[in-house]
Amino acid sequence: MAYELYYWPAIQGRGEFVRLALEDAGADYIDVARMGAGAAGEAALPFPLPQHGAVARPPFALPALKDGPLVIGQTAAILMYLGDRLDLAPADQAGRMWTLQLQLTIADAVAEAHDTHHPLSAALYYEDQRPEAARRAEHFRKHRIPRFLEWFEAVLAANPDSDACLVGRNVTYADLSLFQLVEGLRYAFPRAAARSLAKCPHVVALHDAVAERPRIREYLRSERRIPFNEDGIFRHYPELDG
């Protein structure tokens, strides 16, 4: 039975981290709003949302993954579940928990990237909070991007099994997600990201290695990969890049 991924059909967003794991593993899955019967778009999405009451344990928000009767929300929880099933997580408990910790740190970075263009409220347009966004983005560029990337650089350098993987010697879902974080930062903050990545050769090497994994390379060139745009989490507003 195919996995069913429920996420918005026109943005990469947080759903992209799940897509990358499914694509890398060659898993049988349906991106419901884009690939389901009739490609119904957002009309296919109501069932996971709590206000519709269709599941006993509804996710708070998308993405959601359905595996048979099981519905899972939260990107990190979905990836932890898939990691064991798609051979994208270590076999030992300590390794699995470390991989989850890395994923949650990536989630923190993603949330901070989002808040550069929506620092006051996601309910307001970017144009309604541009002065606050400029201040938030400056701090993110100067302090938070370097701190996150340099921490991942140190993790890679300290891995006794491989300096090309975050955990052990095999690629995990955290490596795929770090690739996506770098992709997003390069799109949204090309100048700031370039400055920080110049000091993080291991992170760059990991990104490049993931991009060349056969199934990921094919996915990135396919129509299944949604282009970055200014409706997603990573948005390129030149004035926010300094």
Per-residue pLDDT of the chain (242 residues; tens, 9 = 90+): 899 999 999 999 999 999 999 999 999 999 988 875 555 566 666 555 555 556 778 888 899 999 998 999 999 999 999 999 999 999 999 999 999 999 999 999 999 999 999 999 999 999 999 999 999 999 999 999 999 999 999 999 999 998 899 999 999 999 999 999 999 999 999 999 999 999 999 999 999 999 999 999 999 999 999 999 999 999 999 999 99
Any idea which residue has 């918005």 for tokens? 8
The correct CATH number of 3-85 out of 3.40.30.10, 3.40.50.20, 3.40.1390.10, 3.30.70.270 is 3.40.30.10
Other Cβ atoms within 10 Å of 40 Cβ, number: 13
Using CA atoms, how far apart are residues 78 and 127, in angstroms rounded to an integer? 33
Name the segment(s) of the chain with CATH classification 3.40.30.10: 3-85
CATH of domain 93-213: 1.20.1050.10
Which pLDDT score, from 0 to 100, does residue 188 have? 98
For the record, the structure tokens of 173 come out as: 């879902």
- Find all residues with CB under 8 Å of 202, minimum gap 6, and list them: 152, 153, 156, 157, 163, 164
- Find all residues with CB under 8 Å of 112, minimum gap 6, and list them: 140, 144
Using CA atoms, how far apart are residues 235 and 66, in angstroms rounded to an integer? 29
Which pLDDT score, from 0 to 100, does residue 47 have? 57
- Find all residues with CB under 8 Å of 38, minimum gap 6, and list them: none
Using CA atoms, how far apart are residues 2 and 208, in angstroms rounded to an integer? 29
The helix or strand, by DSSP H or E, that contains position 72, with its residue range, turns out to be strand 70-73
Which pLDDT score, from 0 to 100, does residue 27 have? 98
Which pLDDT score, from 0 to 100, does residue 49 have? 56
Question: What does pTM read for this prediction?
Answer: 0.94
Q: What crossing angle do the helices spanning 93-117 and 145-158 adopt, rounded to 10°?
A: 160
CA-to-CA dists, residue 37 to 32, 118, 166, 182, 216, angstroms: 8, 34, 38, 33, 25
Which pLDDT score, from 0 to 100, does residue 117 have? 98
Name the segment(s) of the chain with CATH classification 1.20.1050.10: 93-213
